[in-house]
Chains A and B, each alone.
Chain A
């Protein structure tokens, strides 16, 4: 049984707003496929924050310590 949302999409497929939305989703999601192979099995979203916050932190802490 279809959920309410996909039923809504089916019923309103010809509505310009829905048509535009479906086209956008196809374009946006289609481009990532060839880069997904670079993700390891255990990759988590939070690893981004670690990479960002750790950048040069040692150097900056040293600068802060030494004025």
Chain B
């Protein structure tokens, strides 16, 4: 008896199934919801603008930091060729050997400038940098001889690559009287440190701001759900599926996110436009060619995509908190 009741019940359940083309129905529903969302957003233009602005501002800083980071990287890559070398002579090298080396370096075609630092000059510089330390003076007296070698600051032609510098370093190391050759990368390391700092601080700030964008969309979609509870009850009564009831709010989230992404792009464009002139002026004073890179179609696409993802995340969060149901 129980078996026959169950089979009858199962047959009944099968009766309440979707009919017709699911894909066509799905597409039609998306078209309907897109149209409704456009209407909903346009009917609440002021509040929609505020949401877009808040999401846009939250997306602007991460976008700017991304551009700053990518430009710093490009900047350091461009400047690698101008880094230069320092050639340290052996302590036993005679003055004549130092002079011959200087002359040999100056005659090389790929070297723009050679500056000689004698052991005496090096000692004076070290004392000056130590603040004329008495302890250092006493130490020097104790060793009786100058422990510093003669050295050359070698500046290659502009545009020399890092590989060319490395080749030059190997050649000079093979010269007699040369103790060591160092590619000067201190400033590059500083630049990389700065870039790293910008990345780390930026990443932390960006995460916080992106979270705030999600929260803004969450709050807005939550309000939208609350304002449409009556409609949702009706939809549940007349047989709307859970997906059909959730869909409008996912579209709201998408609209808010995409709009925020668009606002962020506009704000970044204005900001870059404002700093371009003073930045170029600064670059000219350092005799460096600078062009702001990164604000390209791929970046714009990423900003819109990021905005959309954050919007959908905010909407999903709101729906998980207040899921429309019967």
* A and B interact physically: no
Binding site for A on B (CB under 8 A): none
Binding site for B on A (CB under 8 A): none
